[in-house]
Amino acid sequence: MADIKSLDDLKSAVSGAAAPAAAAVAAPREPKRDSLGRSYATGKRKDAVARVWIKPGSGKVVVNGKEMAVYFARPVLQMILRQPFTVANVEGQFDVFATVAGGGLSGQAGAVKHGISKALQIYEPTLRGALKAAGFLTRDSRVVERKKYGKAKARRSFQFSKR
């Protein structure tokens, strides 16, 4: 311990910590793409599960073999699917191919949105900050509560009769 010159050196020597100059810097995230230049992610919402592939393109979205406007006929659901691209400022730059199963249309739209967000972040890690700030990378864990025995539904009791 003859080489300790300052109080900070003494503290780091006692605690076993390395010198500040040798502190490890986290490596930046690397983009992950397959041989066809696509990125894959799984999105989930309620009971729906979506498998999503994105690649550079003209902005075409295909869900279960159908165009987005055909599969998700309601404008609100189409808007939900476009949100990740709007937040990341990459509208019309990526083609999306998705297969989705389970749940209803609303849950499926949320699952595809979650999958698109995750795939965008995997394709281009610099977009992670904007997508995370908008809350698109977080899986919405709310699911339907199960029915309990002795109840009409999950929490509703049968009608009470005094006589």
Residue 75 belongs to some domain of the structure: yes
Q: Which residues make Cβ contacts (< 8 Å) with residue 82, sequence separation at least 6?
A: 91
Residues 109-159 have pLDDT tens digits of 999 999 999 999 999 999 999 999 999 999 999 999 999 999 999 999 999
Provide the number of structural domains found in the chain. Answer: 1
Is it the case that residue 6 has pLDDT exceeding 90? no
Q: How high is the pLDDT of residue 153?
A: 96
Q: Concatenate the DSSP letters of all residues of 68-92 into one string.
A: HHHHS-SHHHHHHHHHHHHHHT-TT
Enclosing domain of residue 75: 39-133
Structure confidence at residue 28 (pLDDT): 77
8 in a domain, yes or no? no
> CATH number, domain at 108?
3.30.230.10
Q: What is the pTM of this model?
A: 0.79
Query: Is 106 part of any domain?
Result: yes
Q: Report the pLDDT value the prediction gives residue 114, as an integer from 0 to 100.
A: 96
Q: Is residue 148 part of a domain?
A: no
pLDDT, mean over the chain: 88
**Is 88 a domain residue?**
yes
